[in-house]
Amino acid sequence: MNILKKLITVYYYVVGIVLLVSILLPLFWVFNFMVLGNNTNITLPSVYKLTILILLLVSLLFFHFKSIRIIKMSLNDLSNGDYFSKSVIENFKKAGIYFLVCAVLQTISKIFSSVYRFEIELGVDVSVLPFIITGLFLMFLSESFLKGQKLQQENDLTI
């Protein structure tokens, strides 16, 4: 459990730094484009497309960051042996939903970028599968913990 906690904490900070950079970098580009006037080879439609793509990727990172944060919070309860607490059940469900949102956002951004670059390929893209599997697994864990909580309550009220 301690190793998992440390891993999640490290990953949490890595995602946080990446999110921060992904927010600051486009701002720097905008500053470069608007203030310094380095607008060579940049057309207005491409700026719009790029902005949408960046927004999609930033929101994807934001939801990923939030889900990791929620898991990190729940690990404290889990390490204390409090498996069936209300917060763990709710947090796991939330994290699962956020992972599914990440999968949707990644799919949209992939479709968008492939259309933008005209690199449409035939085949199945499995890169969203980890998000979907993790999300559904977390939601399943939440349901299991909910059943566990009911059993524990029954057990506590058996005198």
Cβ burial 8-39 (10 Å sphere, 16+ → b, else e): beeeeeebeeebeeeeeebeebeeeeeeeeee
Which of 27, 36, 120, 159 lies at the binding interface for other proteins (CB under 8 A)? Answer: 159
158 part of the interface to other proteins, by CB under 8 A: yes
Per-residue contact string for residues 57-86; x = within reach of other proteins by CB under 8 A: ------------------------------
Collect all residues with Cβ–Cβ distance below 8 Å to 118 and sequence separation of at least 6.
none
Pick the closer one to other proteins by CB: 114 or 153.
153
Write out the two tokens for 85.
């607490």
φ, ψ at 26 (rounded to 5°): -60, -35
Question: Within 13 Å of residue 69, how many CA atoms lie on the same side as its CB?
Answer: 11
Per-residue contact string for residues 17-46; x = within reach of other proteins by CB under 8 A: ------------------------------
Pick the closer one to other proteins by CB: 122 or 157.
157
Pick the closer one to other proteins by CB: 44 or 159.
159
Minimum gap (Å) between residue 155 Cβ and other proteins: 8
Per-residue contact string for residues 137-156; x = within reach of other proteins by CB under 8 A: ----------------xx--
Question: Distances from the Cα of 16 to the Cαs of 10, 52, 90, 94, in angstroms?
Answer: 10, 21, 23, 19
Closest listed residue to residue 60, CA positions, set 10, 110, 1? 110
Which of 3, 27, 122, 157 lies at the binding interface for other proteins (CB under 8 A)? Answer: 157
Q: Which residues bind other proteins (CB under 8 A)?
A: 153-154, 157-159
